[in-house]
């Protein structure tokens, strides 16, 4: 190794130590941690991230039951397989009764958080969402309800919260306005999405934001901006996963994000926000058969097995080759629990609130 190489290597590891010690890094230093390709560096960072997550959450990995209740969406995001412009997507909606029976089955299987996710589907009025949230909370008062149904006005978010919803996931997608505009049609607004996140926080939700890794036109500077946004906004949850192309979208021919960059970011986010709830996502498991295990080893502490009825699973296709579209819920859980224990962690049957929201 030349003197210069030794210097570069030492510097990168020192930056990892600095990050793990909670010290502030400059934008250039964050970029250096993101890009460092020194042998052993990713493992070193992941080890630091695991130590931090274990301080707050021990070996627990929280399981969330994901119910994808509609794939109808009024939006036309360029990257998304269920965008309104995709005439080939086979559309479906679940009734309140169907959603409740998914929750009942999930409850029996041990889930204590239900995540209701869908496209922005105006069929579900505020009253319809309020009704389903209330019904879940009445049947299962010991469970948390997470909503992930996109951008709405503050009054609607408030109604859902008053009905008992605990958490809300709304990825910011990118913290750079120009980049946002390259990923979305003109009628969608970066400022409105950011306003929604602030509204959700003000109301009192546990809020999740996040971005796709390797989305088209994304640069290292954009990712640094995303990290800065997370540091400043301090969400309780951060959902990140690789961008994966869908064949019937304008980004069909783009390259997917990589597993290495996704797990590098998971470790960095864990170190920047030590107590954050951080999922190892299905998209990560889609680009690498061991993706979710690698995510957990990089500092993730949440997984979201699918509880949607098996006849609609194969229709919520945001990207190509999505995994777990054929299995029964019970099978998904068994598989997930096994994956978690194979890397030395434990599938936790608990609501799994953010530490700052735990009821004493």
Q: Under the rule (CB under 6 A), what is the footprint of ligand SAM? A: 79-80, 117, 119-120, 148-150, 170-171, 173, 212, 241, 243-244, 246, 283, 318-319
Examine residue 83 and tell whether it contacts ligand FES (CB under 6 A).
yes
Distance CA 196, CA 301 (A): 25
Residue 319 interface partner, choices ligand SAM, ligand FES, none, CB cut-off 5-8 Å depending on type: ligand SAM
Number of residues this chain uses to bind ligand FES (CB under 6 A) = 8
Instruction: Collect all residues with Cβ–Cβ distance below 8 Å to 87 and sequence separation of at least 6.
Output: none
Residue 259 interface partner, choices ligand FES, ligand SAM, none, CB cut-off 5-8 Å depending on type: none
Cβ–Cβ < 8 Å for 90, 315: yes
Examine residue 189 and tell whether it contacts ligand FES (CB under 6 A).
no
Distance CA 97, CA 92 (A): 15
Examine residue 151 and tell whether it contacts ligand FES (CB under 6 A).
no
Instruction: Collect all residues with Cβ–Cβ distance below 8 Å to 23 and sequence separation of at least 6.
Output: none
Examine residue 270 and tell whether it contacts ligand FES (CB under 6 A).
no
Q: Between residues 50 and 167, which has the closer beta carbon with respect to ligand SAM?
A: 167
Residues 110-129, mask of contacts with ligand FES (x by CB under 6 A): ---------xx---------
Cβ–Cβ < 8 Å for 148, 117: yes
Nearest to 51 by CA among 23, 26, 25, 16: 16
Q: Between residues 83 and 222, which has the closer beta carbon with respect to ligand FES?
A: 83
Instruction: Collect all residues with Cβ–Cβ distance below 8 Å to 30 and sequence separation of at least 6.
Output: 224, 227, 268
Instruction: Collect all residues with Cβ–Cβ distance below 8 Å to 93 and sequence separation of at least 6.
Output: 69, 70, 72, 121, 123
Which of 77, 163, 169, 268: binder of ligand FES (CB under 6 A)? 77
What is the nearest approach in angstroms of ligand FES to the Cβ of residue 78?
Answer: 9
SS3 118: strand
Residue 296 interface partner, choices ligand SAM, ligand FES, none, CB cut-off 5-8 Å depending on type: none
Query: Where on the chain is the footprint of ligand FES (CB under 6 A)?
Result: 73, 75, 77, 80, 82-83, 119-120
């Amino acid at each position: 190794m030349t003197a210069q190489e030794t210097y570069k290597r030492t510097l990168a590891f020192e930056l990892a130590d600095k990050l793990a010690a909670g010290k502030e890094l400059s934008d250039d230093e964050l970029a250096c941690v993101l890009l460092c390709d020194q042998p052993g560096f990713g493992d070193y960072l992941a080890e630091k991230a695991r130590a931090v997550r274990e301080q707050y959450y021990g070996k627990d990995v929280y399981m969330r039951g994901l119910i994808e209740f509609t794939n109808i969406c009024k939006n036309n995001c360029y990257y998304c397989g269920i965008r309104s412009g995709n005439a080939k997507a086979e559309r479906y909606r679940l009734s309140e009764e169907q959603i409740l029976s998914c929750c009942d089955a999930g409850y029996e299987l041990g889930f204590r958080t239900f995540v209701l996710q869908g496209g922005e589907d105006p069929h579900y009025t505020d009253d319809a969402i309020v009704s389903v949230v209330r019904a879940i909370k009445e049947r299962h008062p010991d469970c948390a309800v997470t909503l992930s149904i996109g951008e709405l006005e503050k009054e609607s978010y408030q109604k859902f919260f008053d009905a008992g919803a605990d958490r809300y996931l709304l990825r910011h997608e990118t913290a750079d306005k120009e980049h946002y505009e390259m990923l979305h049609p003109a009628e969608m607004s970066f400022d409105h999405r950011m306003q929604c996140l602030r509204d959700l926080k003000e109301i009192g939700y546990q809020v999740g934001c996040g971005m796709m890794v390797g989305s088209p036109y994304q640069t290292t500077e954009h990712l640094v901006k995303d990290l800065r946004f997370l540091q400043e906004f301090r969400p309780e949850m951060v959902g990140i996963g690789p961008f994966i192309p869908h064949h019937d979208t304008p980004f069909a021919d783009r390259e997917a994000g990589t597993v290495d960059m996704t797990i590098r970011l998971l470790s960095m986010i864990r170190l920047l926000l030590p107590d954050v709830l951080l999922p190892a996502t299905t998209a990560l498991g889609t680009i690498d058969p061991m993706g979710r295990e690698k995510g957990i080893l990089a500092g993730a502490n949440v997984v979201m097995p699918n509880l949607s009825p098996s006849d609609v699973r194969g229709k919520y296709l945001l990207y190509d080759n999505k995994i777990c579209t054929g299995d029964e819920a019970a099978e998904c859980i068994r598989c997930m629990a096994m994956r978690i224990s194979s890397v030395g962690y434990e599938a936790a049957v608990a609501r799994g609130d953010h530490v700052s929201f735990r009821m004493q």
